Amino acid sequence: MNPYLAEFFGTMFLIILGQGVVAGAILKGTKSENAGWLTIVVGWGIAVTLAIYAVGNFSGAHLNPALTIAFAVKGDFPWSDALGYITAQLAGAFVGALVVWLQFLPHWKRTDDAAIKLAVFSTAPAIRNTFSNLISEIIATAVLVIGLLFIGPNEFTQGLKPIIVGMLIIAIGLSLGGTTGFAINPARDLGPRIAHAVLPIHGKGSSDWSYAWIPVVGPLAGGILGVYIYQFFFSV
């Protein structure tokens, strides 16, 4: 599989499962309504694990522009491929959001709260504070990158590394995700937010573009910060 196509498919698959668990937990009338934060976090962790299994051998399964940029900064990924990866990731996230919209088609009309509908597609802070929200995304993504870098050199039984990465996602969500919903991935937030803006979702309201830069800039900055922190402590 072409690595750009792999990044597209992997990110699409990630969003279908990750955004799907959010939709099931918060939209009205689903059998899993009110399943709660733990269900959402575990669902995202499993989604990441399966997406890595799907395309890891073809593209390295970045599935996240913050990781692509971070790996390029570290020197582990060529800058010449970065734009193609990021474009594929954003496109995959958009298409994944489209699939989730279709899957839950009758539930958009039954759900009255426009903010809940947007929450299926993109993140929002528990307490809106620009500085704090940005710092939260920077910290969570730095932890993600540091975690991936110190997981990398370890030897695991064949095929287990994606499960460990999924556990890292769950740990971040449970420990750090309660402030902003832990986007930690610009494609995961921006692609579906664009889908929310253009899809004919009944009573959808605003796509909250005034906040949209935070889950883009925060993860990008956090990914780079994570590389430098890792190199400071672990490089010899």
Residue ranges of domains in the chain: 3-234
Quick: pLDDT tens for 5-44.
Answer: 999 999 999 999 999 999 999 999 999 999 999 999 999 9
Residue 123 has pLDDT above 90, yes or no: yes
User: pTM of the full predicted structure?
Assistant: 0.96
- What CATH homologous superfamily does 3-234 map to? Glycerol uptake facilitator protein. (1.20.1080.10)
Residue 154 has pLDDT above 90, yes or no: no
- Could you say which DSSP state residue 211 is in? T
Quick: pLDDT tens for 56-81.
Answer: 999 999 999 999 999 999 999 999 99
- For residue 211 the two structure tokens come to 């906040």
Q: What is the CA radius of gyration of the chain?
A: 17
Query: HSE of 108 in the Cβ direction (CA atoms, 13 Å)?
Result: 19
Residue 172 has pLDDT above 80, yes or no: yes
Kindly report the average pLDDT of the chain as a whole number: 96
